[in-house]
Amino acid sequence: MFKGARILVAPLDWGLGHATRCIPIVRALRKHGATVVLGADGAPLALLQQEFPDLEHVRIPGVQVRYSRSNDQRWSMAKQFPAMVHSVRTERMLFARVLRPLQLQAVISDQRFGLRSPELHSVVITHQVFPFTPLAQTALRWLNRYHLERFDRCWIMDEPTAPGLAGELAHGTPHPANARYIGTVSRMGSSGPSRSEGYEVVAVISGPEPQRTLLEERLLDGLHALPGRHLLVVGQPNQNKDQHHGNVHVRSHLGAEELESRLQGASLIVSRSGYTTLMDLVAIGRSALIIPTPGQAEQEYLGDLHQRTGRFVVQHQDAIDLAKAMAQVAATARRPAAEQNVLLEQALVELAAALS
């Protein structure tokens, strides 16, 4: 379908979720004959290189976002906002320098607004059409829509019918004129039999510091107090951690196939309420204990939304009760795994037609 067209796929480097949800995009592009170039840096690039060691890549640095240790991130985000704006300009200048040497025909940018060009077809991926922001939400939503509409096409990772999985983040008005829904997209849903190895709880965490470390410490304490053997994946793919702390096996990172197998074999899954994680859970038909990052408005909203829908069990980071969560999840009926995503296939057909 793509006849060897060279397409850059570049995720935002804010945690690992943007990189992991690009994995099924890369797989689909390659399946249909595209030549994919990866654009990332740091941990996201390390993750993508582990999944696709044979692919060409270009380093595209981004802003290193940090959260505060408190439950209120407004001041922390406000201080870093100028750096975020500057990163868009830096991305645009870097992209202008590399797109011709890389001989690109298209770019698929996961929420990196600087990675577009009038010289080639530009697609932006998002689920945050109407983001929740700690300050000036109305103005920043307008700015977000302005950036989304500067691309040739905006792919929204959710179902077309509200509330979908993203709720108000992806459904509302006014909608970007260039938008189309591509369904929930996950790297999971294709593994073989589970390999639990006796793990009762499988916890997977990532995200900006220091909140990632704070959750790791709380989960280690809770898992040590819980009978059985447990697995904690700490979301650091650029490290090589493989340690045992009492009854807890700590790994820095797992590839998609092994991670899915571990999740399917667990009695309880624990994670953040990041949107990519929720898409992965939907793909394998599992509920989980989800723990929103304190003060992160989007994760707190998704936690509140799905506490109401009953799809997931939600606890706050300062009040984690793993035994209670295990009982609640056990009482939740398993949902069928997500079916093949025809909406993404349709979007790829449109992209291929635009490049022909």
Dihedrals φ, ψ of 90, to 5°? -65, -45
State what percent of residues in the chain have pLDDT above 90.
Answer: 73
* Residue 336 domain-assigned (yes or no): no
- The pLDDT assigned to 70 comes to 59
| Same domain, residue pair 147 and 262 | no
| Same domain, residue pair 17 and 107 | yes
| Same domain, residue pair 267 and 320 | yes
Summarize pLDDT for 240-284 with one digit per residue, the tens: 899 999 999 999 999 888 999 999 999 999 999 999 999 999 999
- What is the 3-state composition of the chain as percent helix, strand, coil, each rounded to the nearest 5? 40, 15, 45
Is pLDDT of 157 > 80?
yes
| Same domain, residue pair 108 and 241 | no
Q: Which of 109, 130, 252, 271 is nearest to 188 (CA)?
A: 271
Contacts 24+ apart (CB under 8 A), 140-147: 145/174, 145/176, 147/88, 147/113
Rounded average pLDDT over 142-162? 96
* Residue 151 domain-assigned (yes or no): yes
| Same domain, residue pair 210 and 135 | no
Q: Which one-letter DSSP state was computed for residue 14? A: S
| Same domain, residue pair 206 and 137 | no
CB 300 within 8 A of CB 326: no
The band of 33, judged by pLDDT with boundaries at 50, 70 and 90, is very high
Q: Report the domain count for the chain.
A: 2
Residue-level length of the chain: 356
Summarize pLDDT for 186-213 with one digit per residue, the tens: 999 865 555 556 799 999 998 888 889 9
Q: How far apart are CA 340 and CA 45, in angstroms?
A: 27
Q: How far apart are CA 299 and CA 211, in angstroms?
A: 13
- The pLDDT assigned to 43 comes to 87
Q: How far apart are CA 301 and CA 305, in angstroms?
A: 6
Which of the pair, 235 or 193, is modelled with greater confidence? 235
Which of the pair, 237 or 67, is modelled with greater confidence? 237
* Residue 1 domain-assigned (yes or no): no
| Same domain, residue pair 98 and 14 | yes
| Same domain, residue pair 267 and 302 | yes
Is pLDDT of 2 > 60?
yes
| Same domain, residue pair 305 and 164 | no
Mean pLDDT of the chain: 89
The band of 91, judged by pLDDT with boundaries at 50, 70 and 90, is confident
* Residue 335 domain-assigned (yes or no): no
Summarize pLDDT for 163-173 with one digit per residue, the tens: 999 999 999 99
* Residue 67 domain-assigned (yes or no): yes
Q: Which domain holds residue 315?
A: 199-330
Q: How far apart are CA 271 and CA 216, in angstroms?
A: 11
| Same domain, residue pair 220 and 180 | no
Is pLDDT of 155 > 80?
yes
What does pTM read for this prediction? Answer: 0.89
Q: How far apart are CA 154 and CA 116, in angstroms?
A: 12
DSSP string, 92-151: HHHHHHHTTTTT-SEEEEES-TT---TTSEEEEEES-SS---SS-HHHHHHHHHHHHTTS
* Residue 194 domain-assigned (yes or no): no
| Same domain, residue pair 176 and 222 | no
Summarize pLDDT for 280-293 with one digit per residue, the tens: 999 999 999 999 99
| Same domain, residue pair 134 and 259 | no
Looking up residue 155, the CATH number of its domain turns out to be 3.40.50.2000
